[in-house]
Structure 1
């Protein structure tokens, strides 16, 4: 799960019409027992209501490439394919529970396929956010993991093999009523150890009091300059304070197997999917243009123009699936100056025909991702 991706061109900012009173002009605040931070940017993706096949309209670029064995570090290669990312929104465009369009669990499905193993590859799925300027911030995903033994599902930030923050789930680690999550910072030490973080201080396996494939839970990491704190459903799991990443990077999600008995295991006996209900990120951008945009709308820090980021303290499943999105709040404009994507209440960034015609030009850049 180590990535190298060429930088995409920066996207232009879309001004949001001021038809309603604007809040959050000075940012989004995060307060915990020992920390307080204000972040300037956000992205929010609601996959329970994301319809259509063009995920890039929602800010995510599907990946398509092969990693042959033994480069994959397993007996089988990894084959990431665009058609293994399947949107399956709720039929009810305003509700948060009910039937999905394709049947089964609503959300974005990231599939690992069990067929065609004879080709020497296991077919999986991966997507990367179109932005590559994510730095310090709070990163959250609503996710129901795959139940079939023999896959790895992950949500992570990536800058380089030595600067990476991972939440990784191995279905082989599930028990009858529990599971585990692997918390990893890829560091220079892990690179020197052959990309193996397991013997470093930046690796921790934390047991979970539930099976990750039973229902949706929110998995989160808060990245500060001096630490990374991991959460599940708003509760602290673990804190790391060494080798903290310092560079901007990109968000990824993937689901794969290479048959390695020491990690993913598998291959799975049948097709199996990770299902994502949302991704939320509140962060400081590394782009100078984004810094200037924030300074223009907030020339002097004003606490009254900062919006507190709500904590998800229960599993976002069933009646609790309707989590809060600043970008869906129609009472006041809570995303002033933000880069917006399809599905947000106030704007449809990437909806213009002109911009969409440019996106195929970047496909080769994104599909140059490879595993080491």
Structure 2
């Protein structure tokens, strides 16, 4: 009798655990990410860099460590990608905006002023997404550029020299009132023009109504089979629908901060160490990986409003409003394709806890 009464008293906790299962089921995005009424992306990479403490071990991003030798005909310096130029600066509390070094929290990508290798290489910071199966999607990054003249802050998708979607801000183009965004679509035409997209229809400049190094803003591009569109803080800037400039193959994402002394582009190198800050990346896309595609189909049996997550536009410059992290990006590193496996483990764990509790073990 006492055992029965004890177990009856445990039922409220069991019900709470089962309600957690229900909440988990409804919150998995197992049937993808809806962008408006007509577009659903199957996979995601969502990284809150204000919460990252060790970028070297982070599962979604790879710190780059390699050299681009200088080509004197194009630029006087090469680029030396080093781990020391990619620095995690996690939020330490308060409203989530201040990092451990007292500056804006987020991942810091440096361009150093001291040259290496007999003054031939500029030390720079760069990361790649570990996913290389990204084909079509919506890609957003919260970025604060450097105020030091002579560097390029860039967020882009890359396949090769003829398939690239790029957003670049040159610190040399920042004035006392505004900054300039360069929207770049590399193509066969740009390759034939000496890798200079500005000589093609795959290039556009736009003057932004703010100073990019003053605060974090969201830089975004949406890529479909027929177009590439560019946005800042969800304000549409340009759409290119010319077939020659819309990529069609899978690739990966890149964030970098660099200089090579090219007088027509980056200028520099900077006279002092320059820092670009990335607070988050939100990428929603389709995968060309057959395993990912199969996992998604398996996880998404019955699409509904409970298992399709809505992508929320960033309608204003992102700011931090909660302790320990930035509202502009949430630490959710698992993709929709792997949600089913994660969910199964959570479900088994919760049901197991309930069973053990009821058994009185």
CA distance in 1, matches of 2:179, 2:230: 16
1:70 aligns to what? 71
Post-superposition offset of 1:78? 1.2
CA offset digits 1:330-364 (Å, max 9, x no partner): xxx995734999xxxx99xxxxxxxxxxxxxxxxx
CA offset digits 1:225-282 (Å, max 9, x no partner): 1001111111111111122111110101111111111000011110011000001101
Q: Does 2:257 correspond to 1:255?
A: yes
1:104 aligns to what? 103
CA distance in 1, matches of 2:114, 2:144: 23
Post-superposition offset of 1:90? 0.9
Question: How many residues matched?
Answer: 317
As a proportion of its length, which structure holds more helix?
Answer: 2
2:272 aligns to what? 270
Post-superposition offset of 1:56? 3.8
Out of 306, 327, 330, which is 1:322 matched to? Answer: 327
Structure 2: gaps spanning 5 or more residues: 1-19, 347-361
1:21 aligns to what? 25
Cα 1:216–1:121 change in 2 (3 A) is same
Q: What are the equivalent positions in structure 2 for 1:97-176 lying under 5 Å apart?
A: 97-116=96-115, 119-176=119-176
CA distance in 1, matches of 2:233, 2:156: 17
CA offset digits 1:75-121 (Å, max 9, x no partner): 111111111000011112xx543542122221100000001365211
Cα 1:21–1:224 change in 2 (3 A) is same
Is the partner of 2:190 in helix, strand or coil?
helix
Q: TM-score, normalised by structure 2?
A: 0.81
Contact 1:293 1:337 in 2 (8 A): yes
Q: What are the equivalent positions in structure 2 for 1:295-310 lying under 5 Å apart?
A: 295-310=297-312
CA distance in 1, matches of 2:38, 2:46: 21
Contact 1:76 1:258 in 2 (8 A): yes
Q: CA RMSD in A?
A: 2.6
CA distance in 1, matches of 2:45, 2:66: 26
Is the partner of 1:245 in helix, strand or coil?
coil
Cα 1:97–1:190 change in 2 (3 A) is same
1:312 aligns to what? 314
Contact 1:143 1:217 in 2 (8 A): yes
CA distance in 1, matches of 2:209, 2:219: 14
Post-superposition offset of 1:308? 1.0
Contact 1:75 1:258 in 2 (8 A): yes
Structure 1: gaps spanning 5 or more residues: 1-16, 348-372
